[in-house]
Amino acid sequence: MAWLTFLISGTLLAATPLLIAALGETIVEKSGVLNLSIEGMMSFGAVIAFIVVMKSGNHWLALVAGGVAAVALSIVFAFIVLVTLGNQVVSGLAVGLFGIGVAGLVGKPYENMTVPPMTRVPIPLLSDIPVVGPGLFNHALPVYLAPLLAVALWWMLKYSKIGLIVRAVGESPESANAVGYDIVAVRFMTIIFGGFLAGLAGAFICIASSTLWADGMIAGRGWIVIALVVFAMWRIERVVIGAYLFGMASIGELLVQSAGISVPSQLMTSIPYIVTIVAVSVLSMQAMNDIPGFLAQVRRALKPDGLFLGALAGAGTLAELRESLLAAETELAGGASPRVLPFADVRDAGALLQRAGLALPVADVEDMTVRYDTLFDLAADLRAMGETSALADRSRRPASRRLFTRAAEIYAERFSDPDGRIRAGFSLVWMSGWAPHASQQKPLRPGSAKVSLAKILGETEGGGRE
């Protein structure tokens, strides 16, 4: 059972830096900022931590130094996006690339050097449990502290005033500003906090996991962290689960090789990134502004006779919620702002597949009904999915409590079951199409039929029965 011990131990070791950095990024994104410079911050934190260990031999000092080094980059990023109002995506990419380049330059003299790993702290009694004990309870202290940090941040976001302020700034900055909170200051502090955790994660990789410095050793983990936050839908508990799943995927190559299974190493190395792509892309088509352009790119990317499978929320999704909000806002304000995304009909989906040039297009719809106690339970579920309003033309005036209270009453009046629970409809449009290829079946040319349809139907050419 040594392989199981290896799997458990390797998963925890690989997941810990992902978890630490993802927790920081979750807080940043909760405040309404997208930080794409995680890779550069982790790289810069890693090289500074390595140098500190080389000079001082103190691993804890190195962890702090790595975090502080990344804070310097996070301040630059925060200044650009919050003070000069630079584009978050472009600024994040620029700062991230800058961090990677500076890390490579500073670390050049230390290339491929090694340092002693952090001291392991076996937990008495628990670490002696056969098979599971050594894998779970014999690690460096940060491996144990990372889940505790997750619990603390979960509590902070859910129950503390600080968490309420962070969520308010991210979800409704106009409302937060109206009650006196400084939006820029709050977001500045969350970016610094996220940067510190990113640097801490990079330092852990360098001095506790790999124990060496090599240019590019972060190897895309920063991008996995960003995908992990999206995959977890910005919920701390899902970030924890996702981090350990991604950690398990990242050691798949070593596990398969140790089992003697012949699988190309390139495929195994790509597993974490394949998981990332799948996690980010699932059910996100309905949020695109240019679905025809997206399908055209898919068509160009597919090799001949390649298959495309896709799904998106279709017409009829949340129709009850749309009607209730529309009726409530019309009643209270004399007009209504769009609050639910428009969704494509199944016929439109089929037409889009044909327009993109995909052969043998098929579009089908699957209707589902989910029941909730109240509209507010439905709203909480949608928020947990990350499906808050993405409409650019919606009203910027904060919705009142009175609006949602009245909408909940209308929803219950019109769409409730005898037991008092409300219905919410969801329609999933499933699509498939193939890149054209000569081997695919094609319709016959008009006029090439060998048998008359009238003969098959048992009718004469004049229209009467034989």
The domain that holds 185 is classified in CATH as 1.10.3470
**Tokens 């290896």 label which residue?**
6
> Domain boundary residue among 281, 300, 327?
281
What are the pLDDT digits (tens) for 234-243? 889 889 988 9
Yes or no: say if 425 and 316 are a contact pair by the CB < 8 Å rule.
yes
Instruction: Give the residue numbers spanning the domain of 50.
Output: 2-281
How, if at all, do strands 359-372 and 307-313 pair? unpaired
In a domain, residue 452? The reply is: no
Q: What is the value of pTM for the model shown?
A: 0.68
What are the pLDDT digits (tens) for 123-168? 888 888 887 888 888 889 999 999 999 999 999 998 999 999 998 8
- Are 76 and 126 found together in one domain? yes
- Are 251 and 307 found together in one domain? no
Yes or no: say if 211 and 13 are a contact pair by the CB < 8 Å rule.
no
Confidence of residue 285 (pLDDT cuts 50, 70, 90): low
> Domain boundary residue among 259, 281, 303?
281
In a domain, residue 102? The reply is: yes
pLDDT confidence of residue 100: 94
H/E stretch holding 428: strand 422-434
What are the pLDDT digits (tens) for 56-66? 989 999 999 99
- For 346, the token pair is 């199944």
Q: At what angle do helices 183-204 and 38-56 cross, to 10 degrees?
A: 50
For residues 59-84, one letter each, b for 16 or more C-beta atoms within 10 angstroms of the residue's C-beta and e for the rest, the string is beebbbbbbbbbbbbbebbbebbbee
Confidence of residue 439 (pLDDT cuts 50, 70, 90): confident
In a domain, residue 329? The reply is: yes
In a domain, residue 53? The reply is: yes
Lowest-confidence region among 10-14, 51-55, 78-82, 289-293: 289-293
- Are 388 and 358 found together in one domain? yes
In a domain, residue 316? The reply is: yes
Lowest-confidence region among 73-87, 390-404, 405-419: 390-404
- Are 320 and 426 found together in one domain? yes
Lowest-confidence region among 6-10, 110-114, 287-291: 287-291
Q: How far is CA 437 from CA 308, 362, 402, in A?
A: 14, 17, 58
What integer is the mean pLDDT of 294-307? Answer: 85
- Are 295 and 147 found together in one domain? no
DSSP 8-class letter at 113:
-
- Are 151 and 186 found together in one domain? yes
- Are 265 and 371 found together in one domain? no
What is the total count of domains within the chain?
Answer: 2
The answer, yes or no, to whether residue 89 has pLDDT greater than 70, is: yes
pLDDT confidence of residue 260: 65
- Are 136 and 22 found together in one domain? yes
In a domain, residue 65? The reply is: yes
Q: Angle 453-459-462 (CA atoms, 0-180°, nearest 5)?
A: 100
